[in-house]
Amino acid sequence: MNYRSLISYTALAVFVASILLWLRNYNSLPKLSISNPAQPQMFWFAFGDSYSATGFDIGSTQPSALNPMGNTALDPGTQSGGNNWIGYLTTQYNTSLVLSYSLAIAGATIDNSIATWGFGDMTSQVAAFQSNYASRPASAPWTADNTIVSFWVGINDVYYGFAHNDDPSIFVSTLLNKYRPLVEQLYSNGVRKFLFLNCPPSTRSPQVHEENNLPEQFQRHAAMVTAYNDGLKDMVHHFSDDHKDATVVFYDSWAFMTRVLDNPAEYGYRDATCINVDGSSCVWWNNLHPGWTYHKYQADDMLASLARLGW
């Protein structure tokens, strides 16, 4: 092959490649929809407790197209016997490449100065975000448009307040006075897409029934859950009102888990109270945590709410 034909073959190859690339992009162009602008890539930073922990180690391999959850080992990094809602949304119910960073810590409360079981809190998780991701490092070049932060916390705070016989409204407002500044901090960092989940009906978990037996105790625990969820909803409304340029989604995990516990057979479970480490034949994987099938059902149920965040 002479020099001239090499050039024309190269030109032809470049031409064909650009047509192919164009076709590919053309086919993957999002359908015109204001509520669901598809992103080529999304970043998701998750804060919370064991329901959201995935075993992600912030100091190790970062999420990438090859492993969208970073260095996470799905089991036992989760507390579900398999994947959890974050894993399902990231790798199965995703509509684009989602790089997810779960900074959640099992046992976490909102702030250890208010309530603690001796584990890391959400305050420390947001601090970890500050030192590792707020500056938008080359490994995580997130922007306001393509980034979601989620918060699912409260179970451990509620149990602490209940165990210490705290007044629900005073206790909850103390908690939320620590919670709101964490959200504001992320807003100041430039985050504009926020997802909040409330406290599930943990009063009905096997753990609360193993550790308590008086009707008064169940009522008091449930009252703490209600106070927390009412307070959180209020805080989220205020946050949303104060930041009109933010997209704020509130997902009612209390309502969804209540629905599953009220209709276990509909979801393939024997009853609402059994525990099985297989994570699939019972709602509960252990006495406080639902199994992976529950997480999968919930992730699926969340999709309608997540559309507003670009899912």
Ligand X SMILES: *[C@@H]1O[C@H](CO)[C@@H](O)[C@H](O)[C@H]1NC(C)=O
Residues lying near ligand X in the complex (CB under 6 A) are found at: 68, 91, 94-97
Minimum CB distance to ligand X, residue 247 (Å): 21
Minimum CB distance to ligand X, residue 92 (Å): 7
Q: How many CB atoms lie within 10 A of CB 228?
A: 25
Q: Strand 247-251's sheet: what is its strand order?
A: 97-102, 41-48, 147-152, 193-197, 247-251
Minimum CB distance to ligand X, residue 273 (Å): 35
Report the SS3 class of residue 11: helix
Q: Which is nearer to ligand X, 64 or 169 (CB)?
A: 64
Q: Which is nearer to ligand X, 91 or 276 (CB)?
A: 91
Q: Which is nearer to ligand X, 66 or 138 (CB)?
A: 66
List, as one string, the DSSP characters of 46-61. EEESTTT-----TTSP
Minimum CB distance to ligand X, residue 310 (Å): 12
Identify the CA nearest to 302 among candidates 194, 186, 195, 193. Answer: 195
Q: Which is nearer to ligand X, 78 or 189 (CB)?
A: 78
Q: Which is nearer to ligand X, 61 or 96 (CB)?
A: 96
Q: How far, in Å, CA of 261 to CA of 273, rounded?
A: 8
Minimum CB distance to ligand X, residue 48 (Å): 21
Q: Which is nearer to ligand X, 94 or 116 (CB)?
A: 94
Contact partners, residue 56, CB within 8 Å, separation at least 6: 69, 70, 71, 72, 77, 101, 102, 103
Q: How far, in Å, CA of 17 to CA of 9, rounded?
A: 12
Minimum CB distance to ligand X, residue 185 (Å): 28
Contact partners, residue 59, CB within 8 Å, separation at least 6: none
Q: How many CB atoms lie within 10 A of CB 245?
A: 7
Structure-token match 């978990």, residue found: 205
